[in-house]
A = this chain, B = another copy of it.
Amino acid sequence: MTSATPAVLTTGPVSKPDSEPTLTVSDLARAGGIAPSAVRFYEKHGLIASKRTRGNQRRFHHVDECLVKIIRVAQRVGLSVAEIREQMSDLPQDRADITIDDFLRVRHRLEREARQRIQALTDVLNDFTTDQKLCEIPPKNPTDTRNVATTQRAVGPRKP
């Protein structure tokens, strides 16, 4: 994914009950607008799951296309892979059992996350206009006595 992908992605309805997984890594990558290496990466980190053919190749369900799209949205929100895995951890392990409600639940959580992150940024803006006197420097010309306002308030935890 080097170039910007328009990604309108109107996935048609999955017609068959989809009991057997049929999509290859490349199929899923193309459908999700990501690289095959990313598909493998996501599987390795437990975001998606596949069955294997006799020849040890991965096969994905069509519903995994939805999962990949959700992963991409979650990344736009700013979640890490670990966080995304957590958000998705209560989806039915058997992907064929996933229902609309499962997606709605995940979606609501992502919405909450997005709102929280918007709030954190809004707090930064408020700090800009609220807190005076973080940076005071002696004015070069005596007519300008204003000061720059900024302050940090430990919004998100930082533990490297």
Residues of chain A touching chain B, judged by Cβ–Cβ distance below 8 Å, are 1-2, 4-18, 33, 63, 65-66, 69-70, 72-73, 76-78, 98-101, 103-104, 107, 110-111, 114-115, 117-118, 120-122, 124-125, 127-128, 133-140, 144, 146-160
Q: How far is the CB of A150 from chain B (nearest CB, A)?
A: 5
The CA of A45 and the CA of B148, in the complex, are separated in Å by 24
The CA of A5 and the CA of B154, in the complex, are separated in Å by 7
**How many copies of this chain are found per oligomer?**
2
Which chain B residue shows the least CB distance to A4?
B154
Which chain B residue shows the least CB distance to A154?
B4
Contact of A73 among B103, B133, B152 (CB under 8 A): B152
- By the criterion CB–CB under 8 Å, are A9 and B152 in contact? yes
7 CB contacts below 8 A, A to B, read A14-B138, A17-B138, A66-B135, A70-B150, A99-B139, A100-B137, A110-B128
The CA of A74 and the CA of B146, in the complex, are separated in Å by 21
- By the criterion CB–CB under 8 Å, are B11 and A136 in contact? yes
Q: How far is the CB of A129 from chain B (nearest CB, A)?
A: 9
- By the criterion CB–CB under 8 Å, are A104 and B72 in contact? no
Contact of A135 among B11, B78, B135, B156 (CB under 8 A): B11
The CA of A149 and the CA of B137, in the complex, are separated in Å by 51
Complex interface: chain B residues within 8 A of A158 (CB): 1-2, 4
- By the criterion CB–CB under 8 Å, are A140 and B12 in contact? no
Which chain B residue shows the least CB distance to A123?
B76
Complex interface: chain B residues within 8 A of A117 (CB): 121
Q: How far is the CB of A10 from chain B (nearest CB, A)?
A: 6
